Amino acid sequence: MSAAHQAIRTAGPKLAVTALEATGDTSYSACGIPYWVAGDVSSADALVARTAEQHRKAGIDLRLGATATGIDRQARTVTYRDAAGEQVLGYDELVIATGASAVVPDWAVDPRTGQRYAGVAPVKTLTDGAAWLDLLAGLPGGGGRVVIAGGGYIGVEMAEAARRRGHTVTVITRNRVMSSMDPDLSARIEKGMHEAGVRVLTGLPVVRLDVADGRVRGAYTADGELHPADLVVLALGVTPNTAYLDLAELPSGPSGALRPEPDGSLADGIWAAGDCCETRHRLTGTWTYLPLGTHANKQGRIVGTNLVTPGALRFGGVLGTAITRFAVDTTYLEIARTGLSEHEAAAAGIEVTSLVTEGSTASGYMSEADPITVKLLAAPSDRRLMGAQIVGGRGAGKRVDAVATALWHGATVDDLAWSDLSYAPPFATAWEIVQVAARRLADRL
């Protein structure tokens, strides 16, 4: 929808824009769903940035419940299925923005019905969110047992939501919590979750469910142990919605996601944007699958501009910047990262030196002062920053943006250490902690 609006803004109302949307919802914040489930958000409507009516008022022919089923590049047509059956639509320019769907493993599905077992659901769509509100409301207050399969962003956020609602929460992950961070930082997050009463089981995936009468009763880990569960959250990531495409004919990667050029073009008259796409990592130059709303919004805007004004904008790549939090009772952790982790650097063949620095979010004598851990990575060969990971109290997480900006410009650790960042006692120490971390790492290189 971002591409659609931007195209109309750029070309004016003479442009005929048709949008096909498989579901009944458009332009909602998927990232907000865990907070809706937690009770922080008043209603699903609050998560909707623009309603169908608003899209149509802007001149977009929005067709809901219209699932794209294929494209014919020679004929320049899209086929889609709606309530009335199979439809065909011609195009001059086609934007593929079919997004991604939550991974639903075989063990979550009843082979007799092809449906998920009762009490088992992902957290991706507004429908999922509404289901979770009902599922949690059906549990005894404080007495429900929630197992979360997956320890990434959604897993951590749903652990917060379920714990804040008073339930017993177990996170089960094949790797570790927040595996986009290095193990030392993950350990800090796991410790905070433990303190808030969340059981965290790492290194073992859920492999099957214990089910009775079509309803989940527990989850088995790979070691054969049964973890009783009234509800199971599927927080196992997403997979690009590209099955309806002939991927052999379009630039795409092993993830099944498309690989558009920096201007958003994929093939003659075809553009792609959002969670159905891979992106180029700005530091390694390699393709990576990082389906995030921030990239999708930017790519949509770029495609919407470029299909009217070719070459006007270019997507500059991604750094893997991300942020979340885990907040339950008195436990409050902000979690952020950008650039490469040690694992990612190794996979890219980049030698890095890293250092963990402990500090404070504010001057030690202020009540705002909370612990903060900053891990920085740099390449010893040219002293360039390669990544940052941050875990800490209020104000810790958004500090990652200064490092992300430094990374964007190819900064060295010395650049970051000596630049002019802000300080006042409620906000930082006189040597800003990110700069202390850079200075200390610079001394190691």
Q: Are strands 168-173 and 145-149 parallel, antiparallel or unpaired?
A: parallel
Measured from the CB atom, is 231 or 336 closer to its own copies?
A: 336
Please give the Cα distance from 289 to 273 (Å, whole number). Answer: 12
Considering beta carbons, is residue 145 or 295 the nearer one to its own copies? 295
CB of 223 to its own copies, least distance (A): 33
Minimum CB distance to its own copies, residue 29 (Å): 6
| Angle at 333 (CA atoms; ends 329, 338), nearest 5 degrees | 155
Q: Token digits for 198? A: 């969340």
Place of tokens 């309806």: 244
DSSP 81-144: EETTEEEEEE-SSEEE---EEE---GGGB-TTTSSBPBTEEES-SHHHHHHHHHHHHTSPTTT-
In the complex with its own copies, which residue's Cβ is closer, 276 or 400?
Answer: 400
**Rounded Cα–Cα distance for residues 100 and 362 (Å):** 40
Contact (CB, 8 A) for 322 and 185: no
Pairwise CA distance, residues 167 & 73, whole Å: 51
Residue (102 or 216) nearer to its own copies, CB: 102
Q: How far is the CB of 423 from its own copies (least distance, A)?
A: 5
Token pair for 404 = 């992300």
Q: How far is the CB of 80 from its own copies (least distance, A)?
A: 27
Tokens read off for 38: 């937690």
Nearer to its own copies, 187 or 323 (CB): 323
DSSP 221-288: ETTS-EEE-SEEEE-S-EEES-TTS-GGGS-B-TTS-B---TTSEEETTEEE-STTB-EEBTTT--EE
* 181 three-state secondary structure: coil
Residue 129 beta carbon to its own copies: minimum distance, rounded to whole angstroms: 12
Q: How far is CA 376 from the centre of its chain?
A: 22
CA atoms within 13 A on the CB side of 59: 15
Query: What minimum distance in Å lies between the beta carbon of 155 and its own copies?
Result: 14
Residue 137 beta carbon to its own copies: minimum distance, rounded to whole angstroms: 20
Phi, psi of 177 (to 5 degrees): -70, 135
Q: In 285-368, which ranges are continuous DSSP H helix?
A: 293-306, 342-347
Q: Quick check: helix, strand or coil at residue 14?
A: coil
The helix (H) or strand (E) run that includes residue 372 is strand 371-378
- Which residues in this chain contact its own copies in the complex, by CB under 8 A? 29, 31-32, 35-36, 40-42, 46-47, 49, 153, 282, 292-295, 297-298, 313, 315-325, 334, 336, 338, 363-367, 395, 397-406, 408-409, 411, 415-416, 418-428, 430-432, 434
**H/E run at residue 8:** helix 2-11
Q: Which is nearer to its own copies, 345 or 400 (CB)?
A: 400
| 206 or 362: CB nearest its own copies | 362
Which of 358, 386, 370 has its CA nearest to residue 325?
370
**Residue whose structure tokens are 């017993």:** 168
Residue 31 annotated as catalytic? yes
Q: In the bound complex, what is the minimum distance in angstroms from residue 226's beta carbon to its own copies? A: 33
From the list 9, 10, 11, 31, the catalytic residue is 31
Q: Name which of 145 and 399 has its Cβ closer to its own copies.
A: 399
Residues designated as active site: 31
